[in-house]
Amino acid sequence: MQGFGVHTSMWTMNWDRAGAERTIPAAAEYELDFIEIALLNAPAVDTTHTRRLLDLHGLRAVASLGLPEPARASKDPEAAIAHLAQAIDVAAAMGCEALTGVTFGGIGERTGLPPTEAEYDNIARALSAAADHAKGAGLQLGIEPVNRYENHLINTGAQAVWMIEKVGSDNIFVHLDTYHMNIEEKGAGNGILAAREHLKYIHLSESDRGTPGWGTCDWDEIHATLAAIGFKGGLAMESFINMPPEVAYGLAVWRPVAANFEEVMDNGLPFLKGKARQYGLI
Amino acid sequence: MQGFGVHTSMWTMNWDRAGAERTIPAAAEYELDFIEIALLNAPAVDTTHTRRLLDLHGLRAVASLGLPEPARASKDPEAAIAHLAQAIDVAAAMGCEALTGVTFGGIGERTGLPPTEAEYDNIARALSAAADHAKGAGLQLGIEPVNRYENHLINTGAQAVWMIEKVGSDNIFVHLDTYHMNIEEKGAGNGILAAREHLKYIHLSESDRGTPGWGTCDWDEIHATLAAIGFKGGLAMESFINMPPEVAYGLAVWRPVAANFEEVMDNGLPFLKGKARQYGLI
Amino acid sequence: MQGFGVHTSMWTMNWDRAGAERTIPAAAEYELDFIEIALLNAPAVDTTHTRRLLDLHGLRAVASLGLPEPARASKDPEAAIAHLAQAIDVAAAMGCEALTGVTFGGIGERTGLPPTEAEYDNIARALSAAADHAKGAGLQLGIEPVNRYENHLINTGAQAVWMIEKVGSDNIFVHLDTYHMNIEEKGAGNGILAAREHLKYIHLSESDRGTPGWGTCDWDEIHATLAAIGFKGGLAMESFINMPPEVAYGLAVWRPVAANFEEVMDNGLPFLKGKARQYGLI
Amino acid sequence: MQGFGVHTSMWTMNWDRAGAERTIPAAAEYELDFIEIALLNAPAVDTTHTRRLLDLHGLRAVASLGLPEPARASKDPEAAIAHLAQAIDVAAAMGCEALTGVTFGGIGERTGLPPTEAEYDNIARALSAAADHAKGAGLQLGIEPVNRYENHLINTGAQAVWMIEKVGSDNIFVHLDTYHMNIEEKGAGNGILAAREHLKYIHLSESDRGTPGWGTCDWDEIHATLAAIGFKGGLAMESFINMPPEVAYGLAVWRPVAANFEEVMDNGLPFLKGKARQYGLI
């Protein structure tokens, strides 16, 4: 998890053989260091095929997910543990370095009430088991705070650190996302300050999830703070311009937030890589 | 709708006699020009009592709401028309200058799908009737775009203008909110540019809905753009630190976003008033 | 003075035949609408040659200058009038639409004391005569506030408007510069707000005069405010990376503020054009 | 050099008995941790009197200066050494913790040419001797990069670090200033990133040297980056609203950049203290 990557949603949300074949060679042409594979349906992945393509194109990978409704850790930690174990195995078989994302819950999970101690205890139990399983597979396990609308449980960098300390495993890390930070943190750098040495991965996503550089995120503050804490992790551009209906609800994508693929890749990607270079992060 | 005001959620979410008595004298002490009364339960309002208190303390007022689930305009325009008509009558009886807010739908209304033409046609029909009713009562009718998670129908200033042109009434206006703009608009000034002469009212709310000046909103850009378009409408500070459960779900308030009432009123209010003065808006 | 242009310092500071031949075809390749010709030595210009090249490449032009020490308007308005008249004639002969820049004084002019009424009276007298002369030649006359170190007389948009009203000619306009505004104005939009309908031209120059987009200027606020006031004038990128010694002193250029020509033209130019397009300014 | 202080120019530029008596009790009322005493005329200081007043009011202090024309280190290192030695002795006698500021040259020193190796060698020689002298007196010695117009020698944090490494003393530190950084550094955090562990002191001064919070400085980025590098030094508010003529030239102060003392102290000071608290710096 070092260097600059892109979330595979730019090419596909369906990681089967066709999705992998459309994505990996295309991503390699953009001179990326890694891709983040959205693992919405782990059993459907041909892991050998993905691993071979990644090797062929010299790309590294991480996998990410949110927990599906029947396997939300806050309510059913055993189901979450089983779901995460399967995802970790698939990620390991593809050669991924980490499983990350909303590993503690669902995208769109909200009870309508503030989080309870019981929910957090369940989450800690699930993450602890998942971290053990990941360790056995040689993977790191990330937790990504998301905004208040996508989940009521972990919204800030400080909450993620608190959960990591509660879990106590040494292969869990904080995965921040500038889009969510723009809603939840006081100042663009604050989540980074709260996460510090726990921060190993960050989604660089614009304030409207459209083309990076064209929204309200303070990219200089973000990169300056990353440089200042000595960040050495992965920088992953994320933009959600085309979402399948089952994902669109949790993410609340109702209109195209960028004109098209090219607008994001030809403007946002060089903009973000330029900032990362300016601040010595790649 | 001129000058500087505060949303009454700072004092109460329950606009009965006790709520009005707690709020109006307290608001007057902060030297506000107006208050925005959250009209969650119009029949419960003692309109004569509120009007008398407003007169006594020299405060003007606007009323605001979101449509309750059984009266959402996209699905049941007749129910929405009836609900809005009642709210308009109550607002008029209190002496309010406008009814505004999510007058086109529910806070938290999402079908999980992009908006449809039928939904928009229903909304236009409801707003058209409500605008007529408001006109008869001497009121303006506002529509407030909210972020993608709180509603899937009108998220941007441009969409609000499009709806106003579709409705065609001359007493409908755009009501922007910096908190929602921070998620939806490309650049802090863009919603203002899109709304321009339609913009008569703006919520000044921080990126996390906490203390204004302590988050990521670009307040200079917001105020400079307001000044540049010749904005003459109402500036209303909004911060949601204490919400009753029935509202918290739609707004996704799970943790205190400010330490307390004083933090917002003693820091955010002078900050925002200072910016408004710096840019000649009050 | 509409559209997007670049200051010719990117190619040459010496506007003789060789300078024009190096600059004009090169500028045309960047698909600019106009160039700003630095008129440091008006008598040396082969105006027919420049006009022919501009026509050939379909480029429009404006000319700019600062007054040399013996012709500073604050002290010797007659000398300034003669200098400006000659520059206007040369600019007109090249086919320029305006003469602009520090037409009211020297770049580096400082008495060490606050400006006096006598200095301002002299300047107004010189500008009035120059505006008349420009009118006869069919040109507009611009005045560019510069920062406190480059001149002690007109540092802000408000001061430029005050001077224009004092002069009273109808072909004088304000020419702002984001680099100077970053030092002098309270908020990136404030000079624009002060100048409003007087603003016909703006230098887009980064906070360190290096590559636009890589410094501290708030480009969204600048463009949003321009769009909001209905700006219709010329946008001119300016970056001073190579200066001859006689100019370097006034401008205080001691180190390269960008790696090279390409860094500015291949990063700053598309960045600024993109922002101008985003805000509907070109 | 920890905590929050204010430059004494807010009260006086003349550090004699009257100046000290006007300043120290007044500064104490603002609950500052320290003051920065402008040492324009070291021999005129009654050091015992100042020390007694500082003790009485529980204030710590640092002293600062720029070298006068006859003692500029780049040209006459011996004269600079003598001048700095005297200032260090006076600072020590007052009980100051450091002598800082433009200790390497004059405010307003510019040859009109880029810096030469000989100038830097002379500066290094002077600073080395001054650091030794300071060490003997138990003081730290700071060097403050200033913008290109105030000095052509050290304009950025990176240049200051380079000079410190050239000198090699262990009691020299970088003293940054946000006003100068706003002109010289690429991004508000960059000087801080360049200086890192060498940074012991920072002037918090607005982009126009007026009221902090009312200009273009990105205060969140500045504070976030300070917090991120683990900054433990002194934060000193600086605003130059009233300058004697002999200082105004170098600083180019021609107009009041704030309405008055109260505007700065009642708005800028709480704003900056609030940001420092928000980021855990005080």
Dihedral, CA atoms, A232, A233, A237, A239, nearest 10 degrees? -140
Do A77 and A128 meet the contact criterion of CB atoms below 8 Å apart? Answer: no
What pLDDT score was predicted for residue D170? 97
pLDDT reading at C246 higher than 80 = no
Q: How many cross-chain Cβ pairs, A to D, lie less than 8 Å apart?
A: 67
Local confidence band at C185 (pLDDT 50, 70, 90 cut-offs): very high
Do A234 and A5 meet the contact criterion of CB atoms below 8 Å apart? Answer: yes
What pLDDT score was predicted for residue A35? 98
How close does chain A come to D109, measured CA to CA in Å? 30
Q: How many cross-chain Cβ pairs, C to D, lie less than 8 Å apart?
A: 86
Q: What would the two tokens of residue D193 be?
A: 């990133």
- Percent of chain C residues past pLDDT 90, beyond the cut: 91
pLDDT reading at A248 higher than 80 = no
What pLDDT score was predicted for residue A145? 98
pLDDT reading at A250 higher than 90 = no
What pLDDT score was predicted for residue D247? 76
Instruction: Find the closest chain D residue to A225 by CA distance.
Output: D225
What pLDDT score was predicted for residue D155? 97
Backbone angles phi, psi at D186, to 5 degrees: -85, 100
State the catalytic residue, choosing from D97, D119, D144, D185.
D144
What pLDDT score was predicted for residue A243? 76
Chain B touching partners, 3 or more CB pairs below 8 A: A, C, D
The answer to whether the pTM exceeds 0.90 is: yes
What pLDDT score was predicted for residue D235? 98
pLDDT reading at C104 higher than 90 = yes
What pLDDT score was predicted for residue A106? 96
Tens place of pLDDT for every residue, chain B, 282 residues?
Answer: 899 999 999 999 899 999 999 999 999 999 999 999 999 999 999 999 999 999 999 999 999 999 999 999 999 999 999 999 999 999 999 999 999 999 999 999 999 899 999 999 999 999 999 999 999 999 999 999 999 999 999 999 999 999 999 999 999 999 999 999 999 999 899 999 999 999 999 999 999 999 999 999 999 999 999 999 999 999 999 998 877 777 778 888 888 899 999 999 999 999 999 999 999 999
Chain length of chain D: 282
Average pLDDT, chain D: 96
How close does chain D come to B79, measured CA to CA in Å? 47
Strands D199-204 and D172-177: parallel
d(CA B256, CA B241): 6
Chain A touching partners, 3 or more CB pairs below 8 A: B, C, D
- Residue-wise pLDDT for D161-205, tens only, equals 999 999 999 999 999 999 999 999 998 999 999 999 999 999 999
Residue C218 sits at the chain B interface (C-beta within 8 Å): yes
- Residue-wise pLDDT for A201-235, tens only, equals 999 999 999 999 999 999 999 999 999 999 999 99
Return the bridge partners of A173, or none: A142
State whether C187 and B228 contact (CB < 8 Å): no
Query: Looking at the partner chain, which of A186, A218, A229 has a beta carbon nearest the beta carbon of D221?
Result: A218
- Residue-wise pLDDT for C105-120, tens only, equals 999 999 989 999 999 9
Query: Looking at the partner chain, which of C186, C218, C278 has a beta carbon nearest the beta carbon of B221?
Result: C218
State whether D225 and A189 contact (CB < 8 Å): yes
- Percent of chain A residues past pLDDT 70, beyond the cut: 100
d(CA A105, CA D225): 32
B177 three-state secondary structure? strand
Chain D partners within 8 Å of B267 (Cβ): 274
Chain D partners within 8 Å of A220 (Cβ): 187-189, 218, 221
Q: Is A58 exposed, middle or buried (0-12, 13-18, 19+ CB in 10 A)?
A: exposed
Dihedral, CA atoms, D173, D178, D179, D182, nearest 10 degrees? 110
Do B141 and B169 meet the contact criterion of CB atoms below 8 Å apart? Answer: yes
DSSP H stretches of helix in B95-218: 117-136, 157-167, 178-184, 190-195
Do B244 and C247 meet the contact criterion of CB atoms below 8 Å apart? Answer: no
What end-to-end distance do the CA atoms of chain C give, in Å?
Answer: 12
State whether A192 and D225 contact (CB < 8 Å): no
Q: What sign does the dihedral D52-D54-D55-D60 (CA atoms) show?
A: negative
State whether A216 and B187 contact (CB < 8 Å): yes
What pLDDT score was predicted for residue C252? 86
DSSP H stretches of helix in chain D: 17-29, 47-57, 77-94, 117-136, 157-167, 178-184, 190-195, 219-228, 245-251, 261-263, 269-278
Average pLDDT, chain C: 96
Instruction: Find the closest chain B residue to A255 by CA distance.
Output: B114
Chain length of chain C: 282
- Residue-wise pLDDT for B64-76, tens only, equals 999 999 999 999 9
Interacting residues of C156 by C-beta distance below 8 A, sequence separation 6+: C145, C184, C185, C191, C194
Chain B partners within 8 Å of C186 (Cβ): 278
pLDDT reading at C124 higher than 90 = yes
Local confidence band at D248 (pLDDT 50, 70, 90 cut-offs): confident
- Percent of chain B residues past pLDDT 70, beyond the cut: 100
State whether D214 and B278 contact (CB < 8 Å): yes
Domains located in chain C, CATH noted: 3-278 (3.20.20.150)
Residue C193 sits at the chain D interface (C-beta within 8 Å): no
d(CA C262, CA C267): 8
Residues of A annotated as catalytic are 144, 238
State whether D214 and B267 contact (CB < 8 Å): no
State the catalytic residue, choosing from C109, C144, C150, C206.
C144
What pLDDT score was predicted for residue D250? 82
Query: Looking at the partner chain, which of D114, D207, D253 has a beta carbon nearest the beta carbon of C254?
Result: D114
d(CA A239, CA A203): 9
Nearest to C181 by CA among B229, D183, D184: D183
- Residue-wise pLDDT for D14-44, tens only, equals 999 999 999 999 999 999 999 999 999 999 9
Give ipTM to 2 decimals.
Answer: 0.95
Residue D111 sits at the chain B interface (C-beta within 8 Å): no
Average pLDDT over residues A31-45: 96
Chain B partners within 8 Å of D220 (Cβ): 216
- Residue-wise pLDDT for A113-132, tens only, equals 999 999 999 999 999 999 99
Do C40 and C65 meet the contact criterion of CB atoms below 8 Å apart? Answer: yes
Poorest-pLDDT segment among A8-17, A86-95, C138-147 = A8-17
Average pLDDT over residues A35-57: 97
pLDDT reading at C202 higher than 80 = yes
Q: What sign does the dihedral B89-B164-B251-B25 (CA atoms) show?
A: negative
Query: Quick one: which H or E segment has residue A57?
Result: helix A47-57
Local confidence band at C194 (pLDDT 50, 70, 90 cut-offs): very high
Residue C278 sits at the chain A interface (C-beta within 8 Å): yes
What pLDDT score was predicted for residue B252? 86
